[in-house]
Structure formats: C-alpha cells, structure tokens
Structure 1
Amino acid sequence: MLSFPNFTHFTVPTTAISGGMWDQIFGVYQRAFEHSSQELWTSSARIIQEHATRAWIEASQSCMTALAENAASIQQRAFTDLVGAQQEAAAIATTEMTKAVSGH
C-alpha cells in the first residue's frame, strides 16, 4: 500500500510571505490596468476626434456643393429673365421708333 505525506499540519511561515510580495503583485496588475485604461481613453478620444472632423468636413463640402448649385440655378434664372427683359425692351423700342417714324 502506498503512503502519502500528511499535510494537515503544514503551515506557511509568516516570514516567507511578506506584505511586500502582495504590494509587488498588486503593482504588476495595476500597471497593466493603467496602461490598458490609458490606451482605451486615448484611442477613444482619437476616434471621436477623427469622426467629428470627418463629419465637419463632409458637412462643409456638402454645404458648399448645395450653395454652388443654388447660385448656378439662380444665375441661370436671372440670365433667362435678363434675356426676356432685353426682348421686351427691344419690342418697346421698336414700337416707339415705328410710331416716331410713321407719325402715330
């Protein structure tokens, strides 16, 4: 029959494990957490900044496109109105010249 050692009376000497060991272990985990936490905040802030900048640029470009299209549309209508006014003015001038020449 095999005999196994009896560890029921095993005690850890208090001088073998000091509070310093737990401070060191805590420090290791704390540094790992601080690094991950800092990286999370930094990368999140960068992503938010990039998306906000991209949205601002896209909005500005969209606005400039809409303004340019609006100006072109109004310019086209103004030119059409000017051509119509020129034709009307020519008709008035022709009528008045005809009256002046014919004496009516």
Structure 2
Amino acid sequence: MDITIYHNQRCGTSRNTLAAIREAGHEPQVVDYLATPPSRAQLQAMIGAAGLGVLEAVRSKEALFTELGLDAPGVGDDALLDAMVAHPVLINRPFVVTPKGVRLCRPVELVNEIL
C-alpha cells in the first residue's frame, strides 16, 4: 500500500503513528514536513480529504500562531493556509495519506481507519 506520513520526529504523536503504520506491516514514505513542506494546494487537498476545516489543521498552541496575529477575529482560511505554507511548524501533525483516505492522526488510533 502506498502510504505517506507528514512527520515530525520531535513529536511523540507523530512517532507513535509512524510506529503503528510499521506495526501494521507497512513501510511508509516519510516526509519531514518541516524540511519539505507540502505545497499550498497539497495542504489544502489533505485538509479537505481529511474532512477538516483549515483551523483544525493549524497548531494554534504554537507561539508563532499568536505572534503572526492568526488568533485575531476574522482571520480566514486563506491567511491560515498562507501562514502554514510559510511556517510549516504551524501544520498540525501527523497527516497520513493512503489510498483509503487522509487523516490527521490525533489521536494515533485514527490511522487504523485508513490502513
């Protein structure tokens, strides 16, 4: 099965999701999204395919979120997407893409839905 995980090695949830994929017998393509972020179109497509709103895919607890004023009333999806592309640390993780679907695997167990 063709599986891609947008991974951050420093994130416990991301590490555990990668381990769950491997324990299920798959070797995914691992994308260090901080070094190689998805394009705006890819990011938007993943968010939509996962059934999420853009705000649900942003790491709003990152200090940068507030520093950029993304917590201000009326900030729209376009501004959030632009910020995530410019600052990939704002992308929530881990996103996993398989032929069966896309999930933001928080909690880790969501990966089982698409394996």
Does the pair score TM above 0.5? no
Higher relative contact order (CA 8 A, sep 6+): 2
Q: Greater share of helix residues, 1 or 2?
A: 1
Range class of TM-score, shorter chain: under 0.3
Tell me the TM-score normalised to structure 1 length.
Answer: 0.15
Q: Greater share of strand residues, 1 or 2?
A: 2
